[in-house]
């Protein structure tokens, strides 16, 4: 059943190509460990040299991935009829061609300049955000926009498309700006009245229980238990602590996630753990053991990755069946009297409060998407020149007022709240909402396939869900693009409807609508 | 005061040479992090791939260190009169020449074969030791001896020397087998009667207090405190836990040590921590921030490194002034009633029990050296062919009887107890006793220079000691070889006398001799 590079019938050029990509990926895995260590255990004084180590490895990886030999081998394989008829090999070749073209189209001096400017811009952004000083960050944002536009030109985009397609394609191959725009518009049209109705309902679920104090050690032990219970193999991975939770699929047999604990916010740590475990289960179930380095062992897209984290965090972790199981576990593990008095319904409702928040990462399942749409629209406008950088704060604040009914008190809590633009990650934001959309669409499909799902979750049994995700999403790696995967799994192209239906069905009863 | 590669008066060839060595060292630092992670946090399932990552990086480092370009630049620099008169640059060139010659003299296929055979031999050794089955390990030991002899031939040795010189030189540049033999013989002649007299004294210091139970978390907090107190900068390093304690100077601003805790053996964890902190302080005070990659920023030798660990573990950590300070700390930190009744004299005596032990790493300051001499003699005899591998167990057991008065019950606790031979590290063992000898010789010198040392230690003030070690040992890196450093610091060549005098002065009163 494994599609290894060593299959004897495949030509020598293919075998060599797989060996070279594995070598590059092995260096990449080492770079990823440097990155993981940087966020978890690295002593502060090592930061400066760590940047040098990471730069060295990233240029070694880039050198190998853009080597003329790869180009030759690719061309030879593409001309080979046997490979064209071998579905797994053909998919690998399609994806390697894509990676190779992207990597070789951008001139090295532009790669270098972007890395340098981004690195400095991130420092400037951090300080500017701290001092709420947009004027200092603005010229850097202008520099980055110019560079990103040059990158988009270098990548190119399909006929009838626009420069933004070239950027989006980095994170979401096969997706177009036009389709995102259409889907987001439809989602917004449905979400806006729902969010308005919630605000006008006058209902305010009890959330006081979320701030009871639970010693961090007890939370850590409980979160470890949960991660294992969800099916993450702790012999082939770890859960650690970092300031910004993340998950890194470092290597075969090595997937590491992080979370963070605050004594008075145990549900937020738990949600973070569920989110990262969603990513981690995807990484852990990619076919890395046999195909490490091949596209077949990599995630399909950033949006599909996010669909996995959102599914476990929200669709599972904020569901009533989950809390029917989890509440007694929480009570047992934490031993806090206030929690002993908590009932499932209160817990469930408290986990599903819908309330506009200035900050994206503190937002709920519904309003979060409005944050994303705002960023998607503004970054496109800045790239096209329709929106001047100097006018960004005003445009941001106006949209926050119009979409979320919030007054932005300062740019630190406004247009400077996210790191993404400072690191030149334009085209990334939409993948968050794409993740929500895919999650909802997959969730609808899997509920059909798994009629006992609620009962399973109610008993803390997540095996059926994980098995479905493995079989339908994880094992395919990049064999199918995200749009292809969506069609294969759900029989439908990407749509706003499943997410909207899911939110309506959950939110309306809670708010008596 | 810094001798950086960028000094403008130095020729371009020198600058390029420093840049290339820094690049190789940067890859080496990344490999070292992979190694640290492997022993501390890596999940078990990642082991197989980690070996692949380490092999890849080690061949990248080797490729760079043996590149013809390095050879050309070295030759050009060696012909440059300005550099010859520049003490720091001249020392760097001398050491780089040494490294380059060693790295290029061994044919690549021998390097490869040794790595492969060692890796398999270590596995065989582990299993053979577990099953007490020397016969299985013996053929591997024979293979290794043949390879190591080939390596010695490739390195070569000075006229009048012997093949063992080539191996010793890897760990202890400038040291000869003849000098080690002379010094060890003299040391043995003095130690043997002392150890015999101790055995016949009938005195048995109280050690029951060493086995009181202290929760591991309290031990860990205390050991962290001690490490900081000794002057280790925890902003530029870490203390973690591993099965086999070690210290790794990973990179500028990044030195990491480990220890291990057992609830009923807190003094052993403490001794381990002091030992590794000794190594760590050396690593942390090498001039890495300005000269990373240059020999000037590397340790002088394995023996000098060991002198630092032994000094803190034994000369400081088993001294009466140390326990005058440490005992109240221990009592406060551990809160264990049995320890509250302990007095300084009992603690001091208990930390200095002299009693032959079958196992090297469990041995005391005096008998430990007899273990080393035994290994030194037997490994030379095996390499020369005077001792057949099949006869090793008998030879080992006979020496244990003669030197330590112990009957060896099985090879697992006999000639198979150490990993070194299975990893082809012949020539390494003597550096442990060289470390003890250097430590004693430096200790005698520094006590002259620091008349208030005992008082400082009694107050838990280690700054004066560390400052002396920094100035006299640490900052020099490889500028002086170990024998040169010893002469510079003590005015004398390596001698057995300071160690013998130190042990006599400490042990005789404790045993009423």
Work out the pLDDT band at A3, boundaries 50, 70, 90.
Answer: very low
* DSSP for A154-184, written as a single string: HH---TT--HHHHHHHHHSTT--HHHHHHHH
CA distance B207 to A446: 65
Give the three-class secondary structure for B29.
helix
Q: Which residue bears the tokens 């494994």?
A: A2
- Cα–Cα nearest to B54, from A251, A46, A290, A37: A251
Instruction: Chain B: give the shortest CA distance to residue A354, in Å.
Output: 39
- The answer to whether A43 contacts B238, with C-beta atoms less than 8 Å apart, is yes
CA distance, residue A255 to nearest chain B CA (Å): 9
- The closest of B35, B235, B247 to A43, measured between CA atoms, is B235
8 Å CB contact between B486 and B437 = no
pLDDT recorded at residue A1 = 40
Quick one: average pLDDT of A207-236? 98
pLDDT digits (tens, 9 = 90+) for A82-134: 899 999 999 999 999 999 999 999 998 999 899 899 989 999 999 999 999 99
pLDDT at residue B110 in the model? 94
Residue A105, min C-alpha distance to chain B (Å): 27
Residue-wise pLDDT for A16-39, tens only, equals: 999 999 999 999 999 999 999 999
Task: Please state the separation of Cα B482 from the chain's center in Å.
Answer: 13
Q: Does residue B465 carry a pLDDT above 90? A: yes
Contact B236 A45 (CB under 8 A): yes
Each residue's pLDDT tens digit, A44-59? 999 999 999 999 999 9
CB contact under 8 A, B49 and A252: yes
Determine the pLDDT at residue A9.
73
- B251 membership: H or E segment, kind and range: strand B247-251
Q: Identify all chain A residues contacting B60, using CB atoms and an 8 Å cutoff.
A: 60
β-bridge partners, A257: A239, A247
- CA B379 to CA B359: how far, in whole Å? 17
Contacts A–B by Cβ distance under 8 A: 108
Q: Which two tokens stand for residue A46?
A: 């090592």
CA distance A137 to A123: 10
Burial A60-94 (b: 16+ CB within 10 A, else e): bbbebbbbeebeebbebbeebeebeebebbebbbe
| Substitution target from A43, A60, A241, A247 for chain B, most B beta carbons within 10 A | A43
What confidence score (pLDDT) does residue A500 get? 98
Facing B49 at nearest CB: one of A27, A52, A254: A254
Tell me how far apart the alpha carbons of residues B218 and B330 are, in angstroms, rounded to a whole number.
Answer: 10
pTM for this structure?
A: 0.94
Band (pLDDT 50/70/90 cuts) for residue B5 is very low
Q: What integer is the mean pLDDT of B375-386? A: 97
Task: Determine whether the interchain pair A251/B33 forms a contact, defined as Cβ–Cβ distance below 8 Å.
Answer: no
Q: Which two tokens stand for residue A30?
A: 């080492």
Mutate to test the interface with A, among B20, B26, B30, B57 (most CBs of A within 10 A): B30
As for the ipTM of the complex, it is 0.94
């Amino acid at each position: 059943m494994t599609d290894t590079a060593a299959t004897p019938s495949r030509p020598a050029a293919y075998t060599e190509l797989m060996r070279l990509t594995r070598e590059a990926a092995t260096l990449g895995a080492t770079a990823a460990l440097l990155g993981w260590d940087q966020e978890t255990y690295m002593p502060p004084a090592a930061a400066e040299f760590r940047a040098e180590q990471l730069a060295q490895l990233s240029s070694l990886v880039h050198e190998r991935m853009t080597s003329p030999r790869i180009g030759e081998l690719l061309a030879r394989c593409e001309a080979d009829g046997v490979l064209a008829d071998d579905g797994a090999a053909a998919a690998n070749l399609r994806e390697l061609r894509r990676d190779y073209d992207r990597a070789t189209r951008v001139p090295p001096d532009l790669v270098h300049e972007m890395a340098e400017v981004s690195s400095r811009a991130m420092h400037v952004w951090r300080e500017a955000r701290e001092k709420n000083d947009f004027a200092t960050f603005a010229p850097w944002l202008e520099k980055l926009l110019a560079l990103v536009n040059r990158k988009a030109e270098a990548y190119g985009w399909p006929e009838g498309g626009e420069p933004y397609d070239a950027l989006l394609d980095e994170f979401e191959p096969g997706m177009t700006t036009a389709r995102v725009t259409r889907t987001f518009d439809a989602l917004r049209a449905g979400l806006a009245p729902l969010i308005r109705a919630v605000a006008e309902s006058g209902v305010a679920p009890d959330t006081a229980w979320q701030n009871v104090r639970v010693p961090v050690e007890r939370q850590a032990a409980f979160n470890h238990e949960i991660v294992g219970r969800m099916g993450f193999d702790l012999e082939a991975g770890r859960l650690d602590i970092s300031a910004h939770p993340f998950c890194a699929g470092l290597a075969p047999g090595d997937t590491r996630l992080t979370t963070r604990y605050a004594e008075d916010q145990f549900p937020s740590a738990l949600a973070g753990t569920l989110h990262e475990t969603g990513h981690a289960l995807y990484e852990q179930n990619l076919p890395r053991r046999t195909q490490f380095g091949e596209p077949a062992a990599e995630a399909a897209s950033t949006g599909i990755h996010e669909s996995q984290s959102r599914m476990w965090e929200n669709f599972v972790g904020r569901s009533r069946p989950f809390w029917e199981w989890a509440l007694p576990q929480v009570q047992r593990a934490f031993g806090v009297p206030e929690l002993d008095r908590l009932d499932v319904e209160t817990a469930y409702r408290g986990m599903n409060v819908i309330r506009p928040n200035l900050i994206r990462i503190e937002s709920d399942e519904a309003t979060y998407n409005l944050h994303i749409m705002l960023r998607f629209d503004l970054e496109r406008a800045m790239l096209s020149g329709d929106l001047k950088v100097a006018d960004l704060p005003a445009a941001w604040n106006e949209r926050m007022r119009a979409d979320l009914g919030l007054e932005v008190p300062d740019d630190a809590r406004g247009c400077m709240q996210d790191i993404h633009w400072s690191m030149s990650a334009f085209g990334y934001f939409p993948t968050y909402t794409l993740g929500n959309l895919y999650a909802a669409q997959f969730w609808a499909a899997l509920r059909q396939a798994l009629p006992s799902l609620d009962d399973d979750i109610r008993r803390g049994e997540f095996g059926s869900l994980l098995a479905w995700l493995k079989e339908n999403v994880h094992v395919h790696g990049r064999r199918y693009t995200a749009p292809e995967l969506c069609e294969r799994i759900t029989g439908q192209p990407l749509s706003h409807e499943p997410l909207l239906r899911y939110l309506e069905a959950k939110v309306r009863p809670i708010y008596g609508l």
